[in-house]
Amino acid sequence: MEEPEVPDGAGEGIDDLGGIEGLKGLRPDVAVISRLEKVYSLLSARGRIEILYYLNFTDMTPGMLSYLTDMAPNLLSFHLRKLGSAGVIVSRKEGRFIIYSITEMGKSLSGPLR
């Protein structure tokens, strides 16, 4: 494919990157794109967005999250597993309770929610 023309007003600062070819060299590898795709797909479900929203305020138990989101425990568990496997939330056991916390990555994804 032929290199495209860069008109005035587009590509500001592109010369600092080595032009359009230099920018093309910064293309992320397939693993990075796959990871981003997985993380961003998390935000396609209203329930997961709600969970992240509440966890931005404080750590919570599944019972607390279920109450706040009006989500059935089995659906909540499904969403918590998805968020946990993506590294957006973590859990810890305290006595007879499991407590969920949002990670830094989770905060960065849900920052504008709060």
Rounding to the nearest 10 degrees, give the CA dihedral for residues 56, 62, 68, 74.
120
14 occurs within a structural domain: no
Q: What is the CATH number of the domain that holds 44?
A: 1.10.10.10
Query: Which helix (H) or strand (E) covers residue 91, if one does?
Result: strand 89-94
> What interhelical angle do 62-69 and 46-55 show, nearest 10?
120
Range 103-109 average pLDDT: 88
Q: Is residue 1 part of a domain?
A: no
Q: Is 8 part of a structural domain of the chain?
A: no
Residue 79 falls inside a structural domain: yes
Contacts of residue 50, Cβ cutoff 8 Å, sequence gap at least 6? 68, 69, 71
Contact predicate 62/98, CB 8 Å:
yes
Least confident segment among 31-35, 55-59, 88-92: 31-35
Asked if residue 40 is part of any domain, the answer here is: yes
Which residues are CB-neighbours of 49 under 8 A, at least 6 positions away? Answer: 43, 110, 113
Regarding pTM above 0.75, the answer is: no
90 domain residue, yes or no: yes
- Examine residue 47 and state whether it is found in any structural domain, yes or no: yes
Extract the tokens encoding 80: 């918590």
Number of domains in the chain: 1
The helix/strand/coil state of 93 is strand
Percentage of the chain lying above the pLDDT 90 cut = 50
104 is in which domain, residue-wise?
19-113
Residue 7 lies in a domain: no
